[in-house]
Structure 1
Amino acid sequence: MSVFESTVTVSKPAAQVYAFLADMNNHRQLMPDNITDWTSTTDVASFTIPNITKLSLQIDERVDNGLVRIIPAEKPPFDMELKWELSETDGATKATFTITADLNMMMKMLASGPLQKLADGETTNLVSILS
């Protein structure tokens, strides 16, 4: 398994960060600009990454103010999990976004850079939106 992780501090309480992340409708704002065909509900989001693939993701687990775990709703090109872990200290929230992907060597060479960029971009966007 390959792991891509990014951590940021958001100057909001964990409850507010969690409320934003627990709704898949909000995740469009975290995604890169090149994402197309976005459709979502509170629990599921489907979208296209141009020239790569179409994905459908669903929230698999919610732990109030602490965790949002997202898994594929349909068979993806490779097994993956996206996880937001939150911890609050002095009114600010540390948010860690982790992408875990089962990549073969060829996919790892091709996808490692874009997946790390995605992890970093989502956390950066989260800070921008909630600050």
Structure 2
Amino acid sequence: MTVFESKENINKSVEEVYAFLSDFNNHKQLMPEMISEWHSSVDEASFSIQNMAKLSLQISNRISNTSVIIVPGSQVPFHVEMRWLVADMGDNTTEAVLTVSAELNMMMKMMASGPLKKLTEHQVSALKNTLS
């Protein structure tokens, strides 16, 4: 299993950060510019990645004010899971951690590692900028 992780401290309550992350309609604001054709509901999202593929994601589990787990909504070439964890750091500050776990063979790891790491970094940065 290959794991990519990024975290940021956000000057919002854990309740506000969790509420934002638990609704897939808000996730469009966290996506890089190469994402198009975004369609979402509270629980699911589908979109296209420029010059690559069309993807579907769904929220598989929510633990109030703690975590949101996202999995593919359709068949993908490898198992992948995105896990947002939020923790109350006191003083109206929340630590948000995005972990992407993927089962990648050596060839896929060479191709996907850079983009997946950039995705985790981009999303936590965009979360902080969006909620600040």
TM-score by length of 1: 0.98
Q: Deviations over 1:23-58 (max 9, x none)?
A: 000000000011011100000000111222211000
Unaligned runs of 5+ in 2: none
Aligned AA for 1:129?
Answer: T
**Identity fraction in percent:** 49
Question: 1:97 — aligned with what?
Answer: 98
Query: 2 CA distance for matches of 1:17 and 1:127?
Result: 9
Q: How far has the Cα of 1:76 moved from its partner?
A: 1.4
Question: 2:121 — aligned with what?
Answer: 120
Query: 2 CA distance for matches of 1:107 and 1:52?
Result: 14
Question: 2:59 — aligned with what?
Answer: 59
- Does the residue aligned with 1:118 lie in a helix, a strand or coil? helix
Query: 1 CA distance for matches of 2:29 and 2:123?
Result: 9
Query: 2 CA distance for matches of 1:58 and 1:77?
Result: 16
Question: 2:47 — aligned with what?
Answer: 47
Question: 2:9 — aligned with what?
Answer: 9
TM-score by length of 2: 0.97
Instruction: Quote the RMSD (CA, aligned, Å).
Output: 0.7
Query: 2 CA distance for matches of 1:40 and 1:77?
Result: 22
Number of residue-to-residue matches in the alignment: 131
Question: 1:25 — aligned with what?
Answer: 25
